[in-house]
Chain A
Amino acid sequence: MAQAPTAADAAAPEAHSDGEHEKTTTGLNHRKLLMWAFLASDCMFFATLIATYLVYKGKSKVGALPEDVFSIPVTSVSTFVLLMSSMSMVLAYAALRRGSLKGFRIWLLSTILLGSTFLGFQVFEFYEFINHEVTIDCHEFAANPDGFSPFEAGIAGDECTEGVDEYEGIHGLTPRTNLFGTTFFTLTGLHGTHVTIGVIWLLGLFFYSFKKGAVTPARHLDTDLAALYWHFVDVVWIIIFPVVYLFGVFEGFPT
């Protein structure tokens, strides 16, 4: 196994690592390596949550189900918002690399606003679910019971008694209501927590950029790391949207 030392062994060339002049074995920056290891690990975190969600899909015994509460149009918009926030994030990073601190700040602020908007949508959605209102026309139910979801049919069966024309009441979906509530709120809630941490991080970065020399084209690693985290959070949503929302109301799947 003995080999003559090579020039590469003896020399110690500067590593090309993002302006941070650490000498590392691979030439890659320690923190960037750490971030990618962390993201691989976070994949397992969300995998477990998604697996739990899927195990319990269609198994709820009572309470509202996806078809009762999901609004695909609304969630499509929030998905679009989050996707655009990834675009603005990468444009912020590109602006920084180009030397435009102003461009960096504008695009970063856009990301923060878009991310916050997404969070707003989530909060709105959670609020709507928890305060979900059910309105049933009892005559319509009598004429066409199959046109109602199992959840609503159950309520109609209880409430549409003799002489009742219409029923209106709150039948909210909470984490305690049923398996769907438990798994849905936990999965999307923890994703939202990740987004919140991201927004706080980006806000911190935004204010940090006003300190002289703190954020420069040479010192772009901080932004790179924040951007990687942000894109990951978006990528997780790219999975959650079809698996939870689209497949949630898809007729071929148990709800």
Chain B
Amino acid sequence: MTSLSASMIKRPVHPVGVWGWMTTIDHKKIGILYGITAFINFLIGGVEAIIMRAQLSGSNADIVSPEVYNQLFTMHGTTMIFLAIMPLGAAFFNYLIPLQIGARDVAFPRLNAFSYWVFLAGTLMLHLSWFLGESPNAGWFAYAPLTSTAFNPGHGVDFWVVSLQVLGIASLAAAFNFIVTIINMRAPGMHMMRLPLFTWMTLITAILLVLAFPVITVALLELLFDRNYGMNFFFTAAGGDPVLWQHLFWVFGHPEVYILILPAMGIVSEILPTFSKKPLFGYSTVILAGVIIAFMGWLVWSHHMFTVGLGPIPNTVFTITTMAIAIPTGIKIFNWIFTIWKGSVEFRTPMLFAVGFIVTFTIGGISGVMHAMSASDAQQQDTYFVVAHFHYVLFGGAIMGIFGALYYWFPKYSGKMYNEGQGKTHFWLMFIGQNLTFFPMHFLGMDGMPRRIYTYGADMGWTEVNALQTAGAIVIVLSVLVFMKNFIQSWRSGKQAPGDPWDARTLEWSISSPPPEYNFEEIPIVQDRDDWWAQKRGLVPRVAPSEGSGDGHGIHMPQASFWPLVAAIGIFVGAWGVIYSVPVLIIGAGIMIFGVYAWSFEPVNDPEPTASGDAN
């Protein structure tokens, strides 16, 4: 197979430019690709939100039709969860994990590239549905039987199903990669209980991913089979039960929300110690709490189904388990607060976002506990109270954490310093904006405003509050614009950043900004938790590393490859074939199989002496 590729297209050797990006297997470049793509998706999801907010800002508005509105909230939710938050997390997993554990790359670099390209395929597929007038419209959770061909004859739901399957492949591949990387590629001395919190949360998230995604994979297949082959999984006339869809979806869906929040919790656990000049309070406890949350996350799913009529016993059981999961969450929050307590606190932009996270995530957690009780949830379910809750935990939680990370590690991945004043402006605008937008939703919900309505009557008394919320959303937009200006300008022409601008604690700060291709000139010998901090403060005697000549030469990095891209293209083509045409499906499958086959026979590096990376 290597001769095949050599005769057709040569395997890239230190490629540059666009071809370099297309064939890269460097985790840092892949992280940047994920970040840019995911951020664009965040903007698209934001536009979808703004259109909805415009439509809702007045009673009986007709900016969009009800049909389009249904597509908007479906696409907004699906985009934000699968195309924005998860891959923004993945961007940081990619960039940071090898740096934090003292490795040169992930365990399977080409699989890593494959994950990104397949993610891009899923992104394109879902967004392109808009242009075909065939966007899904049944909510991000797609309840049966609304998703059946009887009620949804177009291709919208098929786009949703197939895009999610494609995205699932990307997520699974990445998760397997990080599990192996974190377990198996740690530097000498980097025991599990010396790992940075972000790495720990990444490991837990990845484990959740590989166990939860197969469930939605099967559910999606069942829905696909119902819609396209006339099967009976959720077809009531044959005895199919739509509640089964709900169960299968939420068995996946609840662990999914922990997949969304745990990385942000890891980020906050890194930022707070750095800007408090104190180690994380209760390191082991925070990790244990994360493990417990991940485990208990499997025990609560039917709290999304309290009003379906499961009966008093299931409702009671899930009430208890859901309330219980607040405990490990609370433990984390207390540990974060104790980390700041009596620290030498510096409120730089990342710290503002981390502290802001604690405030808004906690508010979201409180409304969550209110939902936990099935009796009170009976009033709250399907109202704006729920919308308030999850926006507080997802925007106030995950997104705030991610912006914190974007600023915190900005010097590391861009090599430049961002503008601190603009960063703070961004934070305050965003913090005020999100509270203006989402806090009133609690009251609207208690007043009975249902979810997923495209308009409401003038006499409901909801008009002013909705208008206020729309104003809040515009403030959020402004804050994002400030961020983008800061981000782009600083990356282009900001001040050069040192390796360790924050006097931070973990290994990624011990190398230059940005790091060289091979990350570490010498693989470090780790002797402590927060080893870099310990080194700087002379807390541990230094041991000479075991390898490396100190100048980067003789380090063999794995070679670039285009087969992951080819395999991903095959999946993309095949996915369209699933919806539209069996011959296209076969062609796509063929391309994918060819790509995977060639990839398996391609060595990690071509055996020519000049091919291996002399570090530049």
A–B contact at 8 Å CB threshold (below):
yes
Interface residues of A (CB under 8 A from B): 1-5, 8-12, 24-26, 28, 30, 33-34, 37-38, 40-42, 44-45, 47-49, 51-52, 55-56, 59-62, 175-176, 178-179, 181-183, 186, 190
CB B464 to nearest CB in A, in angstroms, measures 46
With both beta carbons as reference points, the residue of chain A lying nearest to B543 in the complex is identified as A5
Shortest distance between the CB of B340 and any CB in chain A (Å):
20
Asked if B239 contacts A61 (CB within 8 A), the reply is yes
Determine if B179 is an interface residue (Cβ-Cβ < 8 Å): yes
Decide if A10 touches B188 in the complex (CB within 8 Å).
yes
B183 part of interface (Cβ distance < 8 Å) = yes
Within 8 A of A (CB), among B144-188: 172, 176, 179-180, 183-186, 188
Pick 26 A–B contacts, CB within 8 A, sort by A. Answer: A2-B527, A2-B528, A2-B539, A3-B528, A10-B543, A11-B546, A12-B546, A25-B190, A30-B108, A30-B180, A30-B185, A33-B180, A33-B183, A34-B176, A37-B180, A41-B172, A41-B214, A48-B218, A49-B218, A59-B239, A175-B225, A175-B229, A182-B231, A182-B238, A186-B225, A186-B231
Known A-B contacts A9-B525, A37-B180, A41-B211; A179 and B222 likewise in contact (beta carbons under 8 Å): no
Q: Write the B58-100 contact mask toward A (1 if CB under 8 angstroms, else 0).
A: 0000000000000000000000000000000000000000000
Contact B525 A5 (CB under 8 A): yes
Q: Which residue of the partner chain, among A42, A55, A59, A61, contacts B214 with CB atoms under 8 Å?
A: A42
Chain B residues within CB distance 8 Å of chain A: 107-108, 172, 176, 179-180, 183-186, 188-190, 194, 210-215, 217-219, 221-222, 225, 229-233, 238-241, 244, 248, 251, 525-529, 534, 539-541, 543-544, 546-547
Kindly state the separation between the CA atoms of A42 and B215 in the bound complex, as whole angstroms.
10
Q: Find the B residue at minimum CB distance from A60.
A: B239
How many Å lie between the Cα of A181 and that of B240 in the bound state? 12
Q: Which residues of B contact A55 (CB under 8 A)?
A: 241, 244
For A208, the closest partner residue in chain B by CB is: B601
- Asked if A48 and B525 sit within 8 Å, CB to CB, the answer is no
A residues in contact with B239, CB < 8 Å? 56, 59-61, 178-179
Known: A34-B108, A34-B180. A175 touches B231 (CB 8 A): yes
Q: Tell me the bound Cα distance from A9 to B99 in angstroms.
A: 18
The docked-state distance in angstroms from the alpha carbon of A42 to that of B213 is: 10
Bound-state Cα–Cα, A151 to B289, Å: 54
Q: How far is the CA of A71 from the CA of B179 in the complex (A)?
A: 43
- The answer to whether A9 touches B229 (Cβ under 8 A) is no
Nearest neighbor of B106 in chain A, beta-carbon distance: A30
> In whole Å, how far is A150's beta carbon from the nearest beta carbon of chain B?
14
Residue numbers in B under 8 Å from A34 (CB-CB): 107-108, 176, 180
A61 adjacent to B238 (CB under 8 Å):
yes
**Which chain A residue lies CB-closest to B252?**
A48
Partner of B218, one of A24, A52, A176: A52
A-side contacts of B539, CB under 8 Å: 2
Contact A10 B179 (CB under 8 A): no
What separation, in Å, do the CA atoms of A10 and B524 have in the docked complex?
10
**Measured between alpha carbons, how far is A243 from B510 in the docked complex, in Å?**
56
Chain B contacts for A38, CB-based, 8 A: 176, 210
* Contact A12–B231 (Cβ < 8 Å): no
Q: What is the predominant secondary structure among interface residues of chain A facing chain B?
A: helix
- Counting chain B CB atoms within 10 Å of each CB, the highest count among A25, A49, A183 belongs to A25
* Contact assessment for B215 and A44 in the assembled complex, using a CB-CB cutoff below 8 Å: yes
Q: B547 — which chain A residues lie within 8 A by C-beta?
A: 12
**Contact between B244 and A52 (Cβ–Cβ < 8 Å)?**
yes
Q: List the B side residues contacting A4 at CB < 8 Å.
A: 527, 540-541
A190 contacts across to B, CB distance below 8 A: 221
In the A-B complex, the 6 residue pairs with the smallest Cβ-Cβ separation, listed nearest first, are A45-B214, A48-B218, A44-B214, A9-B189, A41-B210, A182-B231
Residue numbers in A under 8 Å from B211 (CB-CB): 40-41, 44
| Shortest CB distance B323–A (Å) | 26
Please tell me if the beta carbons of B189 and A5 are within 8 angstroms of each other in the complex. Answer: yes
- Measured in the bound complex, the distance between the Cα atoms of B108 and A38 in whole Å is 14
Cβ contact of B232, chosen from A10, A40, A178, cutoff 8 A: A178
Q: Which residues of B contact A61 (CB under 8 A)?
A: 238-239
Q: A1-B529, A10-B525 are in contact. List 10 more A-B contacts (CB 8 A).
A: A9-B527, A10-B546, A26-B184, A30-B180, A37-B210, A56-B239, A62-B238, A179-B232, A182-B232, A186-B222
Q: Are B221 and A186 in contact, CB atoms less than 8 angstroms apart? A: yes
CB neighbours (8 Å) of A10 from chain B are: 188, 525, 543-544, 546
CB atoms of B528 and A1 under 8 A apart = yes
Question: Once the chains bind, are A37 and B176 in contact (CB under 8 Å)?
Answer: yes
Please determine whether A24 and B184 come into contact, CB atoms closer than 8 angstroms. Answer: yes
Task: Give the distance in Å from the alpha carbon of A80 to the alpha carbon of B598 in the complex.
Answer: 36
Known pairs A34-B108, A48-B215; A9 contacts B188 (CB<8 A): yes
Q: Within the assembled complex, what's the spacing in Å between the Cα atoms of A190 and B320?
A: 36
Q: With A30-B107, A44-B215, A175-B229 in contact, do A9 and B238 touch (Cβ < 8 Å)?
A: no
B128 vs chain A, min Cβ distance (A): 28
Q: Which residue of A lies closest to B237 (CB)?
A: A61
Q: Which residues of the other chain, A, contact B546 by a CB distance below 8 angstroms? A: 10-12
Q: Which residues of B contact A179 (CB under 8 A)?
A: 232, 238-240
Q: How far is the CA of A198 from the CA of B396 in the complex (A)?
A: 46
Flag if A28 contacts B543 (CB, 8 Å).
Answer: no
A61: nearest chain-B partner, CB-CB: B239
Residues of A within 8 A of B219 (CB): 48
If A5-B527, A52-B248 touch, whether A25 touches B229 (CB-CB below 8 Å) is no
Q: Is the pair B188, A176 in contact by a Cβ cutoff of 8 Å?
A: no
CB–CB B534/A176 < 8 A:
no
For A182, give its contact among B176, B185, B212, B225 (CB under 8 Å): B225
B32 to chain A, nearest CB (A): 24
B233, A9: Cβ atoms under 8 Å? no
Measured CB to CB, the closest approach of chain A to B218, in angstroms, equals: 4
- Given the complex, which residues of A lie within 8 Å of B544, measured CB to CB? 10
- In the complex, the chain B residue whose C-beta lies closest to that of A27 is B184
Inter-chain contact B180/A25, CB cutoff 8 Å? no
A176 adjacent to B214 (CB under 8 Å): no
Chain A residues with CB under 8 A of B240: 56, 179, 182
Which residues of chain A are near B108, meaning CB under 8 Å?
30, 34
Chain A residues contacting B188 (CB-CB under 8 Å) are 8-12
Q: How far is the CA of A44 from the CA of B208 in the complex (A)?
A: 11
Which residue of the partner chain A has the closest CB to B593?
A: A200
Closest to A176 in B: B230
Q: How far is the CA of A30 from the CA of B604 in the complex (A)?
A: 14
Docked complex Cα distance between A44 and B176 (Å):
15
Chain B proximity of A244: nearest CB distance (Å): 16
Chain B residues within 8 Å of A56, by CB? 239-241, 244
Q: Considering the chains assembled together, what is the distance between the CA atoms of A179 and B239 in angstroms? A: 7
Chain B residue contacts of A51, Cβ below 8 A? 248
Nearest residue, chain B, Cβ from A189: B225
Contact of B210 among A24, A40, A178, A186 (CB under 8 A): A40
- Which has the most chain A C-beta neighbours within 10 Å: B194, B219, B527? B527
With both chains docked as a complex, state the minimum distance between the C-beta of B506 and any C-beta of chain A, in angstroms: 14
Bound-state CA distance A10–B189 (Å) is 8
Are A25 and B238 in touch, CB under 8 angstroms?
Answer: no
Closest CB in chain A relative to B229 CB, distance in Å: 6
